[in-house]
């Protein structure tokens, strides 16, 4: 597709269940980012991928959170044993290779996956 695609758009789950959130970046974008946005708050960085590698996982809030990326394309953010404080919108963004001359720093965001933990 033309833009970053995220699924599901909405997910309601029970406390203690695992959830998987998917991100399809723009074709050709080697960099991929996950952010979390709580209601009325700014964006909180979670993790960054360059290709299939994650050089920066510093934002993952706990070991219940993990992410992977395959084929330098799709990424999955997994939250295990969900807690109510995990309720938020999870945003994915992609960009061109940050080290490339064509890179302007522009991040292209998806519409997000809204997670509600009951």
Which residues contact another protein by CB under 8 A? 4, 31, 33, 35, 41-45, 48, 50, 55-56, 58-59, 91, 93, 95, 98-99, 103-112
CA 4/CA 113 separation, integer angstroms: 12
Which two structure tokens, joined as six digits, stand for 102? 């064509």
Nearer to another protein, 41 or 83 (CB): 41
> Which residue do the tokens 């980012």 mark?
33
Asked whether the bond before 66 is cis by omega within 30 degrees of 0, the reply is no
Closer residue to another protein in complex, CB, 42/71: 42
Residue with smaller CB distance to another protein, 15 or 57: 57
Smallest separation, CB 84 to another protein (Å): 21
Q: Shortest gap between Cβ of 16 and another protein (angstroms)?
A: 27
Closer to another protein by Cβ: residue 44 or 72: 44
Q: Are strands 44-50 and 108-109 parallel, antiparallel or unpaired?
A: unpaired
Instruction: Report how far residue 2's alpha carbon sits from residue 77's, in angstroms, rounded to the nearest whole number.
Output: 22
Report how far residue 23's alpha carbon sits from residue 94's, in angstroms, rounded to the nearest whole number. 9
Q: Which two tokens stand for residue 108?
A: 């292209």
Q: Shortest distance, CB of residue 5 to another protein, whole angstroms?
A: 11
Tell me how far, at minimum, the Cβ of 80 lies from another protein, in Å.
Answer: 23
């Amino acid at each position: 597709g033309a833009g970053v695609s995220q699924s599901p758009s909405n997910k309601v789950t029970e406390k203690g269940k695992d959830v998987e959130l998917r991100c399809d970046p723009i074709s050709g974008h080697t960099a991929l980012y996950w952010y979390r946005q709580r209601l009325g708050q700014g964006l909180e960085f979670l993790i960054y991928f360059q290709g299939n590698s994650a050089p920066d996982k510093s934002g993952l809030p706990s070991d219940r959170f993990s992410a992977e990326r395959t084929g330098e394309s799709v990424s999955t953010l997994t939250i295990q044993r969900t807690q109510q404080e995990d309720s938020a919108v999870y945003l994915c963004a992609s960009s061109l290779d940050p080290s490339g001359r064509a890179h302007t720093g522009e991040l292209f965001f998806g519409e997000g996956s809204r997670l509600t933990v009951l």
